[in-house]
């Protein structure tokens, strides 16, 4: 259990998920219009991700049942995503305050009952690939339809593992804890996305590498426990040591788009 004082923890950790879900659904009634088969496809990815994540964190936090975690994902289009981000009270969500919002495809709202809003990958993604990349994929997967499906699945899988990891993290208003949690989510994504579905870029790798360095230095259980709960049982020194690794230089390097605040 987290031991945050009220001063550090201005929001109710035990926010009723149902209540927020109702509010959310009234906002999204018209926007979440994905087909049942698309939802089914995404649910399969969520359940598969949850199996890996709950196993990784098994000795630290309880598993989120599959039937609960699929309900925590709300799929919207890009415009709705932007509207919701603008509408949300930024002081209630550190993720909003401290990240680059321009290209957001998924966002976890831990304080508002722990749910994820996500823009599922569309075929636009295919158009963004170079012709050379498209040709390679079509050759590999025989038809353009299958290649497109793979590209969409790859992006969805990466985002879902990242955001699901955040759902396991107990809300904590500390800024550096937020940074640690981002590196943990990237590390989890790199570790648990099947090789053929991995979507990577240097920025993601840098964060995953940093968390790996913390794992090597402090042990995987301590790093996970610190990132998930904000505490390491019987050893507060480890928490402050891990937090001190987020020096000004490291933060600038890992989060170049972070706003000052």
Q: What residues make contact with Zn ion under the rule CB under 5 A?
A: 182, 185
Please say which residue, 147 or 160, places its beta carbon nearer to Zn ion: 160
Residues 6+ apart with CB under 8 A from 86: none
Q: Which is nearer to Zn ion, 64 or 185 (CB)?
A: 185
Closest CA to 200 of 158, 242, 255, 248: 158
- Residue 194 per-residue DSSP state: -
Dihedral (C-alpha) 119, 97, 208, 154: value to the nearest 10 degrees? 0
- Report in angstroms how near the CB of residue 133 gets to Zn ion at its nearest: 26
CB closer to Zn ion, 49 vs 185: 185
Q: Which residue is nearest to Zn ion (CB)?
A: 185
Q: What's 88's DSSP letter?
A: S
Q: In what order do the strands lie in the sheet with 73-75?
A: 73-75, 115-118, 106-109
Cβ 97 to Zn ion shortest distance, Å: 13
* Residue 165 Cβ vs Zn ion, minimum distance, rounded to whole Å: 8
Q: Which is nearer to Zn ion, 147 or 159 (CB)?
A: 159
Measured CA to CA in angstroms, residue 67 lies from 25, 70, 95 at distances of: 17, 6, 25
Distance CA 148, CA 125 (A): 8
Exposed / middle / buried, residue 94 (Cβ in 10 Å: 0-12, 13-18, 19+): buried
For 128-152, b/e burial (b = at least 16 CB within 10 A) is: eeeeeebeebeeeeeeeeebbeebb
- What's the min distance (Å) between Cβ of 174 and Zn ion? 15
- Residue 167 or 185 with smaller CB distance to Zn ion: 185
- Residue 227 Cβ vs Zn ion, minimum distance, rounded to whole Å: 12
Residue 159 or 232: which CB sits closer to Zn ion? Answer: 159
Instruction: Provide, rounded to whole angstroms, the least separation between the CB of residue 32 and Zn ion.
Output: 21
CB of 42 to Zn ion, least distance (A): 18
3-state class (DSSP) for residue 150: helix
179 vs 242, beta carbon nearer Zn ion: 179
Beta-strand relationship, 115-118 and 106-109: antiparallel
* Residues sharing a CB contact under 8 Å with residue 225, sequence separation 6 or more, in sequence order: 60, 231, 232, 233
């Amino acid at each position: 259990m987290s031991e945050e004082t009220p001063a550090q923890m201005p929001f109710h950790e035990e926010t009723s998920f149902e209540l927020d879900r109702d509010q959310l659904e009234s906002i999204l009634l018209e926007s979440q219009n994905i087909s049942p088969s698309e939802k089914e496809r995404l649910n399969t990815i969520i359940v598969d991700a949850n199996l890996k994540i709950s196993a990784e964190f098994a000795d630290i936090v309880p598993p989120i049942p599959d039937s609960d975690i699929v309900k925590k994902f709300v799929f919207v289009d890009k415009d709705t995503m932007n509207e919701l981000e603008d509408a949300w009270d930024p002081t209630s969500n550190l993720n909003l305050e401290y990240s680059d919002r321009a290209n957001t495809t998924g966002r976890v709202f831990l304080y508002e009952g722990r749910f994820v809003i996500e823009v599922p990958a569309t075929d636009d993604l295919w158009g963004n690939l170079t012709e050379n990349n498209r040709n390679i994929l079509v050759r590999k997967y025989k038809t353009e339809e299958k290649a497109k499906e793979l590209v969409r699945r790859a992006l969805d899988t990466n985002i879902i593992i990242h955001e699901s990891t955040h759902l396991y993290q107990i809300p904590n208003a500390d800024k550096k804890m937020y940074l640690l949690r981002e590196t943990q989510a990237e590390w989890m994504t790199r570790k648990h996305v099947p090789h053929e579905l991995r979507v990577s870029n240097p920025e993601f790798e840098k964060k995953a590498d940093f968390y790996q360095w913390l794992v090597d230095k402090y042990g995987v259980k301590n790093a996970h426990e610190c990132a998930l709960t904000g505490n390491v049982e019987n050893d507060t020194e480890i928490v402050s040591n891990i937090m001190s690794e987020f020096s000004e230089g490291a933060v600038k390097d890992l989060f170049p788009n972070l706003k000052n605040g």
